[in-house]
Structure 1
Amino acid sequence: MPDAFATRTLDIATGASETVHDLTGSCVAFLREVADGRDGLLNVFVPHATAGIAIIETGAGSDDDLLDALQTLLPADDRWRHRHGSAGHGRDHVLPAIVPPHATLPVISGRLELGTWQSVCLVDTNRDNANRQVRLSFLG
């Protein structure tokens, strides 16, 4: 019987601009290797204080709409008490309260069960940290 728990860390280069990075393909590939047709849960976790995980449609403008909405909710200006880094960086530390740093998703028969237009995405508004890690963990 395969192991009931498997985990992997992805290294993601997000660059120097705000981004929504699609992780779905990496999640599917990971499950193909470790799930072995089993039911279970996939946990996606970003161990950073300034990034989050979102389930959102990508490629049709929704990813840019999300970044625009976050800019409206969390403007990159001097209102923030947390003041190191780029101007407005304090907002990046508030982001995980709105876009949580994790998502737990169903896996049925070894396959990630997302809706038709759903993708698993890393949301990173921190222009000061171009390299992120994302941990994928399967329990099944």
Structure 2
Amino acid sequence: MRQASTILTVATRGRGFTEITQEIATWLGATGIQEGLLTLLCRHTSASLLIQENAAPAVKTDLAAWFERLAPESDGYAHDDEGPDDMPAHLRATLTGVNLSIPVRYGRMQLGTWQGIYLAEHRRAAHRREVALHLLGE
């Protein structure tokens, strides 16, 4: 059994979804590992990871609108240390999660045809986010 790990740094432009599928696939290919399990961890509490459709842009628009309805800003949260988007960002990250596990076969992630991996930025301001990647296999 072999393993490989790295930290992927993602620059966000503020609230929204940044697809990171290709960056992960490039790193994965360089490891030489053909079969295994890839785990990803977003190292933040106000950003998250999700696998979602990467073909129709309206999916991201609808997801953003849904998040706004479920966790609106300025809703009287006790935790607002960094502004009105602080606690809603934590709630949105809780809804989607900060880790993913993806099977690897023939040196490729076993994602479906229309699936992409996204870092969801839940804060209004741009940030530099880190995603820890770990691959175990052979």
TM-score (norm 2): 0.91
More strand by share: 2
Percentage identity across aligned positions?
Answer: 27
CA contact (8 A) 1:86 1:128 kept: no
The structure 1 segments of at least 4 consecutive aligned residues displaced by more than 4 Å after TM superposition are: none
Aligned-CA RMSD value: 1.5
Counterpart code for 2:38: L
CA contact (8 A) 2:43 2:130 kept: yes
Shift of 1:90: 0.9
Alignment map for 1:1-140 (pairs within 5 Å):
4-15=2-13, 17-34=14-31, 36-60=32-56, 61-128=58-125, 130-140=127-137
TM-score (norm 1): 0.90
User: How many residues get paired?
Assistant: 136
Structure 2, unpaired ranges of 5+: none
Residues 59, 38 of structure 1: alpha-carbon distance in 2 compared, 3 angstrom cutoff = closer
Structure 1, unpaired ranges of 5+: none
